[in-house]
Structure 1
């Protein structure tokens, strides 16, 4: 897809995006950590719901 900006505007956009404050260092995505967190949260909420059901009934 070609840019609809003029070359001068595209140059300004490129300069803006290459500025240091727009360069965020990111760590690699860790799928297993995310799955572990989801697993722990689901189990924790399940245990909490069982505890609350025993207290109410």
Structure 2
């Protein structure tokens, strides 16, 4: 990927990104865990809504 910055500005950007506060170690993204979480919340809210409707009718 080519940069539209001039070389001097590009060096400043690269130096900025190499600072320690920008080097955060992150866990890998797990899409299956996200899917399980979304399904659990959806089922839980559905069951809660059925319980509330049962108690109010």
**Coarse TM-score class (shorter-chain normalised):** 0.7 to 0.9
Could you state the TM-score of these two structures normalised by the residue count of structure 2?
0.86
- The CA deviation string for residues 4-56 of structure 1, in whole angstroms up to 9 with x for no partner, is 21111110000000111011111111122111111110110010000110122
Q: Which runs of 5+ in 1 are unaligned?
A: none
- Structure 1 residue ranges, 4+ long, deviating more than 6 angstroms after superposition: none
Question: Root-mean-square deviation (CA), in Å?
Answer: 1.1
Q: Which runs of 5+ in 2 are unaligned?
A: none
